[in-house]
């Protein structure tokens, strides 16, 4: 049977993202979201999720482009002088390759994020991460260990297609090849620890947006098993692009997963929209 996991990242980052998750659940086929423990709208996201009974909420582990849970003086290798995480994965990777990231601090911070989500009364369906940093060597080991300790047995594997979307040249090629390689490395580690993950992954198109046409083409050519589609829906591009410092069509992604045309095709093809908890039945 073919299944789709439509996952909204950055749940809790902003109220306009939270609003989009609620709309996409109620009017569309979104059944999964991953929450940022350090997001400014975390409490709002928790409240929304508790009123959406079939929304699976995972953990969007964050080490860049956000706010830590622990005090900055407890994790000095992870934060700027202002006490926030570094702006993006490129800065983090540079420090990582220079040996300037303290992995005990990584473990402590990610543990604090997981604990905050459990204290809020949520039962996470899986783990993934902001800008896919959970795939880095050593960090994947920390993530798997923490998830296992928290009885979370599912994870995102961001095994993206290298030439999907509008291809942007050699720099993008190197980045995609690197991520795909790290994803395969992480998949092997996850399998060895009996973690579950979807058969296929899509949604990484260099910051491009998932559109109605993208979804229609995906569904028409959907492979067997479960496919995760990563997206970042929102209700106001002008506000969110300024807040996130990211040129992205949040509204287009919301429209794509609430499209009546897409919903009709899903129904005609008898494709189920599920969350990560559905993976258990595939492996039982």
When pLDDT is cut at 50, 70 and 90, the band that residue 166 belongs to is: low
Sequence-separated contacts (24+) of 170-173 with Cβ below 8 Å:
172/206
- Range 21-43 average pLDDT: 98
Residue that has been written with the tokens 């994965």 in this structure: 89
- Range 213-239 average pLDDT: 95
Burial per residue of 98-126, b for 16 or more beta-carbon CB atoms within 10 angstroms, e otherwise: eeebeeebbbbbbbbbbebbeebebebbb
Of 156-165, 214-223, 270-279, where does mean pLDDT reach its minimum?
156-165
Residue that has been written with the tokens 């569309």 in this structure: 28
CATH number at residue 156: 3.20.20.370
Phi, psi of 139 (to 5 degrees): -70, -40
Residue 45: per-residue pLDDT? 98
Residue 246: per-residue pLDDT? 87
When pLDDT is cut at 50, 70 and 90, the band that residue 167 belongs to is: low
When pLDDT is cut at 50, 70 and 90, the band that residue 58 belongs to is: very high
How many domains are there within the chain?
Answer: 1
When pLDDT is cut at 50, 70 and 90, the band that residue 241 belongs to is: very high
Residue 206: per-residue pLDDT? 47
Could you tell me which residue, 255 or 179, shows the higher pLDDT? 255
Residue 195: domain span: 2-283
Residue 180: per-residue pLDDT? 85
Over 80: is that where the pLDDT of 164 sits? no
- Range 195-224 average pLDDT: 87
Residue 1: per-residue pLDDT? 80
Beta strands of the chain (E only): which ranges? Answer: 2-11, 32-35, 56-61, 127-129, 200-202, 225-231, 272-274
Over 60: is that where the pLDDT of 207 sits? no
- Range 203-212 average pLDDT: 73
Over 90: is that where the pLDDT of 39 sits? yes
Over 90: is that where the pLDDT of 103 sits? yes
SS3 101: coil
Mean pLDDT over the full length of the chain: 92
Over 80: is that where the pLDDT of 173 sits? no
When pLDDT is cut at 50, 70 and 90, the band that residue 74 belongs to is: very high
Beta carbons of 223 and 200 less than 8 angstroms apart: yes
Residue 283: per-residue pLDDT? 55
């Amino acid at each position: 049977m073919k299944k789709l996991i439509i996952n909204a990242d950055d749940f809790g980052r902003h109220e306009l993202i939270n609003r989009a998750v609620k709309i996409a659940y109620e009017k569309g086929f979104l059944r999964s979201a991953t929450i940022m423990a350090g997001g400014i709208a975390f409490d709002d996201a928790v409240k929304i999720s508790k009123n959406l009974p079939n929304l699976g909420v995972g953990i969007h582990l964050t080490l860049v482009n956000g706010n830590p849970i622990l005090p900055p003086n407890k994790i000095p290798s992870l934060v700027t002088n202002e006490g926030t995480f570094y702006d993006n994965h490129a800065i983090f990777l540079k420090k990582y390759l220079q040996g300037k990231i303290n992995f005990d601090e990584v473990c402590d911070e990610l543990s604090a994020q997981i604990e905050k989500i459990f204290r809020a009364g949520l039962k996470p369906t899986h783990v993934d991460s902001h800008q896919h940093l959970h795939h880095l060597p050593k960090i994947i080991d920390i993530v798997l260990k923490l998830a296992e300790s928290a009885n979370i047995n599912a994870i995102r594997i961001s095994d993206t297609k290298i030439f999907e979307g509008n291809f942007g040249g050699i720099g993008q090629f190197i980045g995609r090849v690197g991520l795909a390689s790290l994803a395969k490395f992480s998949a092997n580690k996850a399998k060895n620890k009996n973690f579950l993950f979807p058969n296929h992954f899509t949604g990484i198109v260099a910051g491009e947006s998932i559109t109605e046409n993208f979804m229609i083409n995906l569904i028409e050519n959907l492979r067997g098993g479960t496919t995760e589609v990563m997206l970042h829906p929102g209700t106001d591009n002008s506000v969110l692009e300024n807040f996130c410092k990211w040129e992205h069509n949040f509204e287009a992604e919301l429209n794509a997963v609430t499209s009546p045309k897409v919903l009709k095709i899903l129904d005609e093809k008898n494709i189920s929209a599920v969350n990560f908890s559905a993976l258990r039945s595939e492996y039982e």
